[in-house]
Each structure stands twice: as structure tokens, then as C-alpha cells.
């Protein structure tokens, strides 16, 4: 709904009543009706830092998905409560790596005799359990805006990287930014015994990629790139690194949501862009830059929202803000202290990357 005026007013009143007690974070994939109430917007890296930089806010309302709220809880003080307006806002990619599967993977690496050479690098888009595993085994977290620096750091610590859970970000970064070949990468399938790999394959590999992916970005294809080039001669194709390797290879530019926004801000008037990322963001950018004569289209012909990001809508935000304003703490996301300790170690390694 393009913002029911009654709900907009209720959100405004509740937020005003809360004042500095509340800080609202909005990921770039959130709906317009939610983004209008965000105190800051950003990609997952920027939001993690912004959450940590607000110790005076009693409530951090995270308009995003569950793993982002967990990370915010880890990086904020115990006195602060992180709130997710709809508890069903998960992430299908993060769900593709469970703590049990990852522990089993480490056993496989140990049996193959390679575990002591492996440094785990986990994408922000993972549960707190996976982040804790990463911290415990000397690894770091990365986001789509610092994946290259995270891989460089990890290759200084060890010979091999176990990259979790997004195979595409791992492969794209290794091949595009680190000069590795596709043959240096192997795919670990958590649903197959031994990950579907032999000990020899594990010994030869430089990048062990977890078999996870984003269902939203996974829908873009080389055909969508070819189609848009035929439809819009001179178009610049800009995609998110969660897209498949062949899509990234066919594109002109690749980067995180924050990178995409900066690239469009810097683009000259009259330029044309096809963007391969979530639709709420692409539509917002198309509207924003239309006035500057920049033509921005969605890379695919079919719509492609992130359904879990979209669960956070204005009714959920109003309910959250009104509850908090009445002193009722709802939908708090709290990571247990033991998990938090090691997950924080991994997140702090990321925040300290050069």
C-alpha cells in the first residue's frame, strides 16, 4: 500500500513520543513506506557500524532481516534492545548453513588433514551461530562491500578459505578480485556425505565454497543481461555480487547496494542503467534519478522482491513503535552470551579490516 495516511500518522506520533530512545535502521531493500521512518539507511556493513555507534538509544528498531538484527545485538550494549518488527523476516540464504552442518564440515576438513590451513570467512548473511563458529576458528565476517579485503586478510592467515554461506559472493570475489581461477574453487554440498568432495579435492582447493545462494539474486541470468542490452543500446549493467558468476562476468559493474547507489549518484545525465538487485531498491533509485535524466531499469523482466525483507511493512512498524512507546518491549532479538562472545570476535575482525 503506498502508505495509508492513518498509519503514517500513527508511526510519526509514536516515533516522536519515543524521541532519542529509539533509533530506526533501514536496509536498502526495505519498502518505501518503512524507509521513510528510518533514521539511517544502508547496506549491511554500514548498518552494523551505525548500530554500534548509538549507545544512547534504548531501542534499536531494525528494519531488515533476522541476521542483521542479531549482528546489531552483538555490536550494541547489553542495556540496548534490538527489535525486529516481524520475527518471520528471515533470510533463505542464511538458513542454508546451520550450526550442525558447519560443525560436520569442519570434521570433514579435519579428516582430510586440511583444517589447520583453513580460515573461515562468513558473509554477514549468516546466523549468529555461524559467526561464532567463524570467530572460534580464527576467521572473519565480511559483507559485499569488504569481501575483497576480508579474503586478502584471510589469505595472510592461512592457505585456504572456507567461505560461508554464499557461494556466489565467494566465487566472484576470489575470481574477480583475487585473481584465483574457477578451478581453485570447490563447492561443499552440506547435503552430501563429505560435502560431495574427495580429500584430494579439498587439499588442492584454495577456496572451499559453501553451497548456499540468494534466491532473489539467483534469478538473474545471462539471458536477462543480453535482453536488456538488446532493448537499451548503450545500457550499463550493474549487478550485486550475490548474482551467479556468469551474470557478474557479463555485467559492466559489480558491487554492494551502497556501491550501486554511489555509482548512480556519480553517473552522468542521459546515461542508462540496468540494475541486478532487489526491486524495492531499484524502483526507489529509478524514481529518485528520473529527475536527473538517468534512466534506470530492473535487470529482469519479472518482479523480484525479497519476500522476507518485505515482511517488514508499515503495519508491523506501527505496532512495534506504538508498543515501545507504551513501554512494551516486543520482538526483541537476543543472542546468548556464549555465541555472542565468539561472533563478536569475528565481527570485530571485520570492523578492524584495513
Using the minimum distance from each CB to ligand 13P, give the nearer residue, 44 or 134: 44
Tell me the binding residues for iminosuccinate. 27, 44, 123-125, 144, 240-242, 257
Q: Taking CB within 5 to 8 Å according to partner kind, which of ligand SF4, ligand 13P, none is near residue 215?
A: ligand SF4
Q: Taking CB within 5 to 8 Å according to partner kind, which of ligand SF4, ligand 13P, none is near residue 308?
A: ligand SF4
Using the minimum distance from each CB to ligand 13P, give the nearer residue, 218 or 315: 218
> Which parts of this chain interact with ligand SF4 (CB under 6 A)?
29, 65, 91-93, 125, 214-216, 278, 306, 308-309
Answer for the pair 25, 40: CB distance below 8 angstroms, yes or no.
Answer: yes
* Least distance in angstroms from the C-beta of 147 to ligand 13P: 10
Q: Taking CB within 5 to 8 Å according to partner kind, which of ligand SF4, ligand 13P, none is near residue 43?
A: ligand 13P
Using the minimum distance from each CB to ligand 13P, give the nearer residue, 164 or 214: 214
Strands 272-276 and 253-254: unpaired
- 126 near ligand 13P, rule: CB under 6 A: no
CA 145 → CA 43, 85, 94, 298, distances in Å?
8, 26, 18, 21
Give the span between the Cα atoms of 170 and 56, in whole angstroms: 36
Answer for the pair 144, 256: CB distance below 8 angstroms, yes or no.
Answer: yes
Q: Minimal CA–CA distance to 351: which of 48, 62, 94?
A: 48
The DSSP code for 332 is B
The region of 41-49, 51-59, 107-115, 282-290 touching ligand 13P under the rule CB under 6 A is 41-49
Answer for the pair 276, 217: CB distance below 8 angstroms, yes or no.
Answer: yes
Q: Minimal CA–CA distance to 84: which of 68, 52, 62?
A: 62
Using the minimum distance from each CB to ligand SF4, give the nearer residue, 242 or 340: 242
Q: Taking CB within 5 to 8 Å according to partner kind, which of ligand 13P, ligand SF4, none is near residue 92?
A: ligand SF4
- 339 near ligand 13P, rule: CB under 6 A: no
Among 76, 257, 280, 331, binds ligand 13P (CB under 6 A): 257
Backbone angles phi, psi at 292, to 5 degrees: -95, 15
Give the span between the Cα atoms of 127 and 285, in whole angstroms: 29
Q: Taking CB within 5 to 8 Å according to partner kind, which of ligand 13P, ligand SF4, none is near residue 80?
A: none
Q: Minimal CA–CA distance to 93: which of 170, 2, 164, 7?
A: 164
Strands 253-254 and 185-188: unpaired
* Least distance in angstroms from the C-beta of 296 to ligand 13P: 17
- 71 near ligand 13P, rule: CB under 6 A: no
- 80 near ligand 13P, rule: CB under 6 A: no
Tell me the binding residues. 27, 44, 91, 123-125, 144, 214, 240-242, 257, 306
Q: Roughly how many angstroms between the first and final C-alpha of the chain, as a whole number?
A: 43
- Positions touching ligand 13P (CB under 6 A) are 28, 43-45, 125, 143-144, 214, 242, 256-257
Amino acid at each position: 500500500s503506498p502508505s495509508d495516511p492513518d498509519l503514517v500518522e500513527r508511526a510519526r506520533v509514536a516515533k516522536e513520543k519515543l524521541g532519542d530512545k529509539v533509533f530506526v535502521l533501514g536496509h536498502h531493500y526495505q519498502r518505501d513506506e518503512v524507509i521513510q521512518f528510518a533514521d539511517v539507511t544502508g547496506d549491511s556493513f554500514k548498518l552494523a557500524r551505525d548500530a554500534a555507534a548509538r549507545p544512547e538509544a534504548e531501542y534499536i528498531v531494525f528494519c531488515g532481516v533476522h541476521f542483521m538484527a542479531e549482528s546489531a545485538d552483538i555490536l550494541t550494549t547489553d542495556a540496548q534492545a534490538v527489535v525486529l518488527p516481524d520475527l518471520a523476516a528471515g533470510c533463505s540464504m542464511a538458513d542454508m548453513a546451520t550450526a550442525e552442518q558447519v560443525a560436520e564440515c569442519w570434521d570433514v576438513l579435519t579428516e582430510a588433514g586440511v583444517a589447520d590451513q583453513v580460515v573461515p570467512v562468513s558473509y554477514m548473511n549468516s546466523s549468529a551461530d555461524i559467526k561464532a563458529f567463524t570467530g572460534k576458528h580464527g576467521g572473519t565476517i565480511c559483507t559485499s562491500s569488504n569481501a575483497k579485503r576480508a579474503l586478502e586478510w584471510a589469505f595472510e592467515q592461512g592457505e585456504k578459505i572456507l567461505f560461508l554461506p554464499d557461494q556466489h559472493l565467494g566465487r566472484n570475489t576470489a575470481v574477480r578480485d583475487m585473481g584465483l581461477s574457477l578451478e581453485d574453487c570447490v563447492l561443499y554440498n552440506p547435503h552430501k556425505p563429505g560435502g560431495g568432495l574427495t580429500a584430494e579435492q579439498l587439499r588442492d582447493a584454495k577456496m572451499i565454497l559453501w553451497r548456499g545462494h540468494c534466491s532473489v539474486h539467483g534469478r538473474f541470468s545471462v539471458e536477462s543481461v543480453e535482453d536488456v542490452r538488446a532493448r537499451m543500446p548503450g545500457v550499463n549493467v550493474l549487478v550485486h555480487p550475490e548474482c551467479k558468476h556468469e551474470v557478474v562476468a557479463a555485467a559492466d559493474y559489480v558491487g554492494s547496494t551502497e556501491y550501486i547507489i554511489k555509482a548512480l549518484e556519480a553517473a552522468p545525465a542521459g546515461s542508462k542503467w540496468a540494475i541486478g538487485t532487489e526491486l524495492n531498491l531499484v524502483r526507489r533509485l529509478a524514481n529518485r534519478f528520473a529527475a536527473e535524466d538517468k534512466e534506470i531499469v530492473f535487470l529482469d523482466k519479472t518482479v523480484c522482491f525479497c519476500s522476507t525483507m518485505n515482511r517488514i511493512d508499515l503495519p508491523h512498524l506501527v505496532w512495534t513503535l506504538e508498543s515501545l512507546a507504551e513501554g512494551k518491549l516486543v520482538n526483541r532479538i537476543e543472542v546468548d552470551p556464549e555465541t555472542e562472545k565468539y561472533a563478536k570476535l569475528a565481527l570485530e575482525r571485520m570492523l578492524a579490516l584495513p
